[in-house]
Every structure is written in C-alpha cells, then in structure tokens.
Amino acid sequence: MTTNRLLQIGLLVLMMAFMAGCEYEFIKPAPTPPPPDPTDTIKFAQQVVPIWDANSCTNCHKPGGTPQLDLTAANAFSSLTSLAMYNVDNPPASRIYNFPYPETGDHSFKYATQAEAELILQWITQGAKNN
C-alpha cells in the first residue's frame, strides 16, 4: 500500500466522522412530549404544589393565616405531614384530597376540577413523597 493510498483512506475516515457528527446534530428528530400516563410518577413540587396557588387556597392557607394548614410551596409538605392531611394506607381517606373535593367535599372552598383532586390522590397513592 502506498503512502498516497494511506492518506486517501485517512481522509475518507475523517470525512465520515465529520458527516456522522453533522447527522447527529442536524437530523436528530425534535423530541415530542410523551402522552400522559396514569402510571407516571407525580412530582410534588412541580405538579401538586401549583394546584393550591391556582385554586387560591394559599390566600388563606399561608403562614400566619387562620387555618393551621399551610399550603405555600415552602411549607406545604411539612404542614401536610405534621397535620396528617394524607393517608398512604388509605389514600381516598386523605383530608387534603376529599375535604376540598369538587361537588362532594365538605369545605366551602374546593378544587376547580376533579382532575386536580385525582392528581393529588395519585401522588398520595405513590407514597406522598416530597419529590
């Protein structure tokens, strides 16, 4: 094999490596959001906590508010835990789920949608983690 031939092969290998790099960078398909899955792990901070702001629960359930239960982002987990607002052994019996449940809840203030309540139930069913 001549030196020239070796150079040609070397150049070819370099070009292929370069093209492979381009392909990875430019032809990679855009990620599509996965469909919602009921077995997905519910994230407390990202998915559960925002529900209490969105429903104005935190207008009252805040530090120094009348009800003892504090649902603000900084305190929600410790407050729910110390006041036993969830029950991992019997999730539907959890007060944070059923007391403000749409239509049937006993609280004067309720979740706007059943989906919000069910998401909280799913979080409790998965062990009520501070995740």
Residues at the interface with ligand HEC (CB under 6 A): 52, 55-57, 59-61, 66-69, 83, 85, 95-96, 99-100, 107, 109-111
- The answer to whether the beta carbons of residues 100 and 107 sit under 8 Å apart is yes
Smallest gap from Cβ 58 to ligand HEC, in A, equals 8
Smallest gap from Cβ 30 to ligand HEC, in A, equals 37
Nearer to ligand HEC, 10 or 102 (CB): 102
Smallest gap from Cβ 63 to ligand HEC, in A, equals 14
- The answer to whether the beta carbons of residues 62 and 70 sit under 8 Å apart is yes
Nearer to ligand HEC, 33 or 64 (CB): 64
In angstroms, what CA-CA distances link 43 with 35, 50, 76, 129? 16, 11, 13, 8
Smallest gap from Cβ 107 to ligand HEC, in A, equals 5
- The answer to whether the beta carbons of residues 55 and 112 sit under 8 Å apart is yes
- The answer to whether the beta carbons of residues 20 and 26 sit under 8 Å apart is no
The rounded distance, in Å, linking the Cα atoms of 40 and 42 is: 6
Nearer to ligand HEC, 18 or 109 (CB): 109
